[in-house]
Structures are given as structure tokens and as C-alpha cells.
Amino acid sequence: MPNHFLSVEGASVSFGKRQAQVHALRNVSQSFERGTLSLVMGPSGSGKTTLLSLLGCLLSPDEGTVFIEGVAVNGLSEAERTTVRQEKISFVFQAFRLFHSLSAIDNVALGFELRDAHMPGRMEMAKNLLVRFGLGDKLNQEPNELSPGEKQRVAIARALAGNPPILLADEPTASLDAQAGRNICQILRRQVDDDGRTVVVVTHDPRWQEFADRTITLCDGRVEPMEKNQ
């Protein structure tokens, strides 16, 4: 019986038409178990980000099914998919994607607001998250006043606002130096070990291997048969 906590079954995605058509994913089936950290690796153009977009309810497959917490999300309306993202999924991006005009604490508080507009004590919870990530002295700094490592920690804090069970990260250490990158790896690993979250990381960075439970390698839109289990 397949695990439908977070999975794709027979998913194919293509972009463009006729001669310009690119097959980003071809009949991919993969399950991601609850409370694990999975890496998705592969060369550029292999379909890693497309797979992440499917898992994040940002894209629907041309064929196949995407399951999130056991629910097939393909047929959902845009508003329903938004609700799924609100309640269950969070993202960490390579380019951080913090809101440039908001301070660190406001960025994180906005993460809480997006999940529940009426949630009381957002600022206090945002502060606690930032303090937990060693940013207690940067609460009121704007993104352009933070180092790349600090920005990524703020972005992770924002992603964790509202306690989503699934965290999807796209090249989260690509813009960081070795120390900052390792720090981010540790933080995401703790999300699995301490909070039981399911984390999927798309990366080229081999440093991640020691923190992952499993690695999926994609090539030309297909899963490579060799899967490395940590």
C-alpha cells in the first residue's frame, strides 16, 4: 500500500508546445514519509524544481496524481490549493524571498498572519522563533541589513510560522558560505528530529548528504533507479 502522506504517482509535466516542448517530469512516482528529510538531486533541468512545485501545490501535473496528507490535490480549485498550502506546506527559497520593506520580525509575523489572520500574539511568537534561530538582536532589521545566512534563518522562521507539517526547500544553501550553509542544514534537520516535520530539499550541495534520510536523483525528468539511503 503506497504512502500517500506526501507523494506523486505517475506524474508527468511538460512545458511549451510542439518542437519547443520540454518534458520536465516523465511518469514520476515517489513517496515522502512523514518525519523524514529527503534530498532531491540531479543536474540542472532534471525536473527537481518541477517536482517540488507539484509537492507544494503550485503546479498540477499533466498526468498523474499528487497526494498531500492522503488527499489527491490535482482536482482542487485554486482557492482550495491555497488553503492546502496555508495549512500544510511551507517553503524556503534559494533567494530567501523576504518582504523587503518589512523587518525580520514583521516578515515572520506575516507568516503567522497568512496562516491565520486572527491568530493572537503573532509578534510574540515571531520573536520567539527568531530568538530560537539566534536572531534575537536582529528583530527590527530589514532584509537588506542582514547577512545571507541571517536572511535564510529569517526565511525558515517565517516558513515555520503556524507549524506546517511539510517544509519544501529549494536550494536553501546555494547562496550561503560553508558555515552558514551547515547551520541551515542543522536547523532543517532539527525540524525533522524535534518536531516530526517532513522536509524535502532540492539541492546540488553535497553537504546535505549527511543530514538526509534519503536521496532521490532525477535525470531528464525521470527518477534514477539508484536511490541512496542514509
Cβ atoms within 10 A of the Cβ of 174, count? 16
Nearer to another protein, 17 or 100 (CB): 100
Residue 93 in the binding site for another protein (CB under 8 A): yes
CA neighbor of 108 nearest in space, from 173, 152, 149, 55: 152
Site string for another protein, 70-89 (x = CB under 8 A): ---------x--xx-xxx-x
CA distance 223 to 202: 14
Binding status of residue 52 toward another protein by CB under 8 A? yes
Angle at 224 between CA 218 and CA 226, to 5 degrees: 130
Rounded least distance, CB 67 to another protein, Å:
19
- The DSSP bridge partners found for residue 38 are 200, 214
Tell me which residue has cell 520567539: 128
CA proximity to 87, closest of 66, 67, 68, 65:
68
> Least distance from C-beta 77 to another protein, angstroms?
11
Please list every residue from 168 through 187 that binds another protein, using CB under 8 A.
170-171, 174
Collect all residues with Cβ–Cβ distance below 8 Å to 225 and sequence separation of at least 6. Answer: none
101 lines the binding site for another protein (CB under 8 A): yes
Nearer to another protein, 159 or 230 (CB): 159
The nearest distance, CB 97 to another protein, in angstroms, is 4
Dihedral sign for Cα atoms in the order 151, 154, 158, 159: positive
One-letter amino acid for residue 36 of the chain? T
Q: Which is closer to another protein, CB of 177 or CB of 227?
A: 177
Interface with another protein by CB under 8 A: which range of 37-45, 91-99, 191-199, 222-230? 91-99
CB of 191 to another protein, least distance (A): 17
- C-alpha 3/C-alpha 143 separation (Å) is 39
Residue 36 and residue 20: Cα distance in Å, rounded? 37
Residue 118 touches another protein, criterion: CB under 8 A = no
Q: By CB under 8 A, name the one of 16, 70, 72, 95 that touches another protein.
A: 95
Per DSSP, the three-state class of 43 is coil
Binding segment for another protein (CB under 8 A), chosen from 22-30, 45-53, 61-69, 213-221, is 45-53
Round to whole Å and give the CA distance between 194 and 53.
26
Pick one of 71, 76, 102, 119: the residue that binds another protein (CB under 8 A). 102
Question: What are the residues binding another protein (CB under 8 A)?
Answer: 49, 52-53, 56, 58-59, 79, 82-83, 85-87, 89-91, 93-95, 97, 99-102, 106, 110-111, 114-115, 117, 158, 170-171, 174
